[in-house]
Amino acid sequence: MAAKDSSFYKPSEGRPQADRLREQEASLRMLLAKAIGTSVAVRAALAAAAVPPGSIALADLERLPLVRKEQLPSAQAQAPPFGGWLGRSVGELRRIFVSPGPIYDPEGHEPDYWGFAPALYAAGFRGGDLVMNTFSYHLTPAGAMFDGALAQLGCVTIPSGVGNLEIQVKTLLDLEVAG
């Protein structure tokens, strides 16, 4: 959990752009090397775009086709459960969400898996804040996405989900919820 005075900003954000780009390209190459070894869909996308993975640069990402949300149900039906995009075994996941489509969304065990904590920190959330999370916790990922990020910041989450308006208003007033 984060202390009230901790920062979720990376010190590298203040470095010169050329240094950041070098670090990002090195990270991209490392990530792709792993993904190529574990994801059939990543290998196919790189091959179709004629992008050489060993020497890929950030500018090369423009050549890769976007995977649109509406494409996922058919891709996942053809190569269950994640369309060939998952870079680990299903047994290594923490959760599988079901979004409309249906689209199966994997979640790993990493803290703040979805990377929301820096944005919530920038929005002013701090450790010890009481936060009412009104996103659904059933099947879809939004409730858990925010819950994980708030936990990483050290916030106290009230997992209210949707509905029960009267109870939610009373809770907001009784507990002096910050967000």
DSSP H or E stretch at residue 40: helix 40-48
- 39, amino acid identity: S
User: Is the CB of residue 2 less than 8 Å from the CB of residue 152?
Assistant: yes
Please report, for the chain, the start and end positions of each structural domain, with discontinuous segments joined by +.
Answer: 110-179
Cα atoms in the Cβ-side hemisphere of radius 13 Å centred on 43: 9
For residue range 4-58, list pLDDT tens digits in order: 445 566 676 678 889 988 999 999 999 989 999 999 999 999 889 888 877 888 8
Confidence of residue 1 (pLDDT cuts 50, 70, 90): very low
d(CA 177, CA 41): 43
pLDDT digit string (tens) for 120-133?
998 999 999 999 99
Q: Average pLDDT, stretch 87-106? A: 95
Residues 6 or more apart from 84 whose CB is under 8 A from it?
39, 40, 41, 44, 75
Confidence band for 86, pLDDT divided at 50, 70 and 90: very high
Got the DSSP string for 101-116? TTEEEEE-SSTTTT--
